[in-house]
Amino acid sequence: MTRLTTHLIALTACIACGSGGGESSGPPPPPPPAAVASVDVQPTSGTIDPGQTLQLTATPRDAAGTALTRTVTWSTSAAAVATVSSTGLVTALAAGSATITATSETRSGTSVISVPPFLATACTGGNPVVALVVDRRLSAGVLTAMARFESDLCADGYTVLRTRQPFAGPVELKTELKNLFAQTNGRLTGAILIGEQPRAYQYVTLVSTNPNIPSSNEETISYQFYADLDGTFSASPGYQSPGGKQYSYDQHTGNTAWEIWIGVLPMYQGDLARTEQALVRYFQKNHDYRTGVNALPRTFVQVSEHATATTQTEHNNILASFRTGQYAWQPFSTAASTRIYFNSPPAALTVDQGYAALSRGDGDFFVGEAHGSYLGHGKLSITWAESNPVRTAFFWSDGCAVANLDQPSNFLSSILYATGSTVVAAKGTTNNSGGLGTNQDGFYGRNVATHMSSGLSFGSAVVKHVNVPLISPWLGSREFHFATAVLLGDPTLRLRP
């Protein structure tokens, strides 16, 4: 009995050892996980405006630089400046600098985030001040091109302020402009709204002295809302915006003079990418104009589709009225180099010749008189503007609604932004008003031409006209003429010698 038990124990021991000779053949234990040697954070630095976000990534790596799958935790050194989510999404809150840290195991990587102030002094060049109100969505490429524009303004004697604040609406933007006007002791001469910016609207009434023209009421985009800093815009009891606009007013009271001009570099065809490309082109041609590249002759060109002469005597009378009449653009119109076009078979003169002169670049200040809409100005259309050279510096359209920016594609924006355009400043209206009325100094053409000839900028010449009271028959329709006006481009520009 004792011998059998011994044998069984020995057999069991043999089976436990296996049949291969006594050593185990199982898999080796796994190696210990590689330690995190560094954390790669991208980008390592960035600049974002308050309210904007920036996505950071963090990659733990071993000593050989191989990416590892590890848990990462995020933290910020200045939560009042910027916060960071568990996925590395940074949100800027206020001006300042924050170091964003990503930690895995015992190793960390960082990114330094800079948040510029809403309002910055871009450059200090002189006494008059210009504010640039910039769409926060615009890319770094546009901002680089805009930096040279700011330098050009400084070289021209302006101090430039820049804000990229996200305004909740037109009231907040107007408040900012009022504050800047006060802070600069009234030296703020104008503001250029770049990209998408809040809009206010006015409900205006036209009462015509012509019995063949019925009265009309219209709701229109109003940049006068920003130009008149101390006037009062309000809605009368029971007034409701016909278009359902949140900021729409039918009353303009108090001191209705303009304190500043407003220039607009608007969206182009409703597309951000096209707008950015157009702005880069615009800042380049603005620089070219200031520095005399491809300079146009200092010549006034006027084309009127409203006038037609059937006899030589009628031709002479029409031409005289354009040169020295009540609505003449004196002193532009009386210069020896002035070119005036209208349909006149007796003189073999046509408006088509005038538009050809516009494309050739025969003059630097162009005035067009024609019926208009957002689709075009008389015989000129958006398609024409996009496919033909528009070679002038200043383009003044008396066509109705050519600058209706509520329409993503509108004629005056194409005149300003098209690849074949040298236009740096343009005037139009946002609704069915073509002009700026007649005041105690005369028709706006004479006022603008006189002031620009004396050295004032395009915008200041318009403000000078607006701030003289209108005379009959336009007195009762001041709002119809002034609330509807819009200046596209850069109103700081002056005539070149």
Topology of the domain comprising 282-489:
Rossmann fold (3.40.50)
d(CA 172, CA 188): 17
**CA dist 311 to 92, 287, 303, 370, Å?**
70, 46, 19, 22
Contact 77, 84 (CB under 8 A): no
Rounded to 5°, angle at Cα 321 from 315 and 323: 105
Angle of the 458-466 helix axis to the 444-453 helix axis, nearest 10: 140
Of 290, 260, 160, nearest to 460 (Cα)?
Answer: 260
pLDDT of residue 74: 97
* β-sheet with 96-104: strand ranges across: 45-47, 107-115, 96-104, 73-76
pLDDT of residue 27: 78
Of 354, 374, 361, 363, nearest to 428 (Cα)?
Answer: 374
- Evaluate if residue 21 carries a pLDDT over 50: no
Phi-psi label, residue 224: left if phi above 0, alpha if psi -120 to 50, beta otherwise:
alpha
Give, rounded to a whole angstrom, the gap between the first and last alpha carbons of the chain.
130
- Evaluate if residue 109 carries a pLDDT over 90: yes
Torsion of CA 412, 416, 417, 422, to 10 degrees: 150
- Evaluate if residue 51 carries a pLDDT over 90: no
For the ranges 22-31, 316-325, 431-440, which has the lowest average pLDDT?
22-31
pLDDT of residue 293: 94
* Residue 209 banded pLDDT, cuts 50, 70, 90: low
**CA dist 62 to 36, 43, 68, 348, 451, Å?**
5, 20, 7, 84, 71
pLDDT of residue 11: 39
Here the tokens at position 362 are: 């025969």
pLDDT of residue 467: 93
- Evaluate if residue 170 carries a pLDDT over 70: yes
What's the pLDDT tens digit per position in 475-490?
Answer: 667 888 899 999 999 9
pLDDT of residue 4: 41
Q: Where, residue-wise, is CATH 3.40.50.1460 in the chain?
A: 282-489
Here the tokens at position 146 are: 């805009």
Q: Which CATH number fits domain 38-115: 3.40.50.2030, 3.40.50.620, 2.60.40.1080, 3.40.640.10?
A: 2.60.40.1080
Output the 3-class SS for 301-313: EEEEEEEECCCHH
Domain formed by 119-253, architecture: 3-Layer(aba) Sandwich (3.40)
Most confident option among 46-55, 332-341, 439-448: 332-341
For the ranges 291-305, 405-419, 425-439, which has the lowest average pLDDT?
425-439
Burial label for 359, CB within 10 Å (0-12, 13-18, 19+), is middle
d(CA 412, CA 431): 12
DSSP-derived letter for residue 69 is -
The phi and psi torsions of 297 (rounded to 5 degrees) equal: -65, 145
pLDDT (mean) for 296-318: 97
Strands 365-369 and 339-343, how do they pair? unpaired
d(CA 379, CA 305): 8
What's the pLDDT tens digit per position in 359-376?
Answer: 999 999 999 999 999 999
Contact 396, 432 (CB under 8 A): no
- Evaluate if residue 1 carries a pLDDT over 70: no
Q: Where, residue-wise, is CATH 2.60.40.1080 in the chain?
A: 38-115
pLDDT of residue 430: 93
pLDDT (mean) for 119-134: 92
pLDDT (mean) for 111-131: 90
Cis peptide before 473 (omega within 30 of 0): yes
With tokens 């009378």, the residue in question is 317
**CA dist 197 to 72, 105, 173, 345, Å?**
39, 46, 9, 47
What's the pLDDT tens digit per position in 232-277?
Answer: 999 999 999 999 999 999 999 999 999 999 999 999 999 999 999 9
Amino acid (one-letter) located at 168 = A
Those residues whose C-beta lies under 8 Å from the C-beta of residue 315, and which sit 6 or more positions away, are: 309, 344, 346, 347, 349
Q: What is the mean pLDDT of the chain?
A: 91
**How many Å is the maximal CA-CA distance in the chain?**
150
- Evaluate if residue 17 carries a pLDDT over 70: no
